[in-house]
Amino acid sequence: VLDPTPTPLIINDNLIDLLTTPGDRAGAAARLDWRPKVAPYEVTSTVKTVAAGGPTNVTVTATDGGTRIRLSGTIAAGAAPLLRTSPVTDPAAFGRTALIEALARAGVEVTSPATGPNPAARLPRDYDGRPRVAAYTSPPYEQYAKLILKVSHNLGANLDICLLAVTTGSHQCADGFPVLAGFLDRAGVDRRQVELMDGRGGNPADRATPRAVVRMLAYWQGTPDARRFREALPILGVDGLLAENCRDCPARGKVFAKTGAAVGGDALNDRFSVGAITIAGYLDKGGGRFDPFYAGVTGASTQNTDPAGILAIANDLALIAAHLQESPP
């Protein structure tokens, strides 16, 4: 099963966004905003503001099928707004309610109740001959691919596999893997050096050798989409997951690369276990030359459970990419 799991209808990534902002002073209630505001979801908060420098620790609990969401804990005065999420447990019913409520706001009367059972069986199997009341054309897939690559949008990466399956006429996401296999063959990638069970690379079975990754990057360089693919990757010191790395170094804006991390907890030793943290993409060497590269750390661990240790490894890899770009051709 793909995790996170794509569903036929997805609104806001099937998540409720919960934004907590500290109050004006210690002891004041924190301010809460959330979206999308769709019935019957209700959100309440008992989060309190504590003195500046105090602990920020917000917990989210959900009951009644996920429709009653409660935030509790503390947030330090002067701290940046804190985002938490809660899953939409029934995306189809959620989408139905959201549509009915949106129509009502636009002045369209809907006789069906906004909440309650979702009578999907009453939908017609074929809409041919019925009058169209609205149409929506999605943006080019290129824009969605850019989102996936810039911020490691895991749900979108898994959805990719399902969309590949659709190109064969199948509604079974697993049928997307043969399509991907055919692409790798055309790209000259040895499939024995790649193992995949999902689209995002989060399954424990997922593997790819540096040689396979670099070969894939080299393939894209020879296609008409080379520039669009390259610029869809995070850009060092500019945007995406590399926006905060190397902002003042000479390589800023000259490394286009996707990062990746497979990190788990090590409860026995109270630390993080690093299966792999990697970076791969292109180095702008000038004169229209873009060299593919790969760098990674595997089999490491941090000193404790402070996420700063993970971020330090990722930053070191970004600096290695910068040094590679800055080195003589």
pLDDT band at 102 (very low <50, low <70, confident <90, very high): very high
Question: What's the Cα-to-Cα distance from 143 to each of 152, 156, 236, 269, rounded to whole Å?
Answer: 14, 12, 20, 42
179-206 pLDDT per residue, tens: 999 999 999 999 999 999 999 998 989 9
74-83 pLDDT per residue, tens: 999 999 999 9
- Count of residues for the chain? 329
Query: Which string of b and e fits 128-147 if b means at least 16 CB within 10 Å?
Result: eeeeeeeeeeeeeeeebbbe
Q: What is the CA angle 11-150-317, rounded to 5? A: 140
DSSP three-state, residue 130:
coil
Cα 299 to its chain centre, rounded Å, is 24
Percent of the chain with pLDDT over 90: 93
- pLDDT, residue 118, reads 85
235-265 pLDDT per residue, tens: 999 999 999 999 999 999 999 999 999 999 9
Distance CA 34, CA 90 (A): 18
Compute the average pLDDT of residues 216-222: 97
**Residue 1: pLDDT above 80?**
no
- pLDDT, residue 134, reads 86
Other residues' Cβ atoms within 10 Å of the Cβ of residue 25: 9
Q: Where are the domains of the chain?
A: 1-117, 140-209, 233-329
- pLDDT, residue 43, reads 98
- Within 13 Å of residue 286, how many CA atoms lie on the same side as its CB? 8
| Residue 12 · residue 24 · CB < 8 Å | no
Residue 69, token pair as written in the block:
């969401």
151-179 pLDDT per residue, tens: 999 999 999 999 999 999 999 999 999 99
Question: pTM value?
Answer: 0.89
pLDDT band at 119 (very low <50, low <70, confident <90, very high): confident
Q: Where are the alpha helices (DSSP H) in the chain?
A: 91-105, 141-151, 154-166, 176-186, 210-221, 226-232, 308-326
Other residues' Cβ atoms within 10 Å of the Cβ of residue 38: 23
258-312 pLDDT per residue, tens: 999 999 999 999 999 999 999 999 999 999 999 999 999 999 999 999 999 999 9
**Residue 32: pLDDT above 90?**
yes
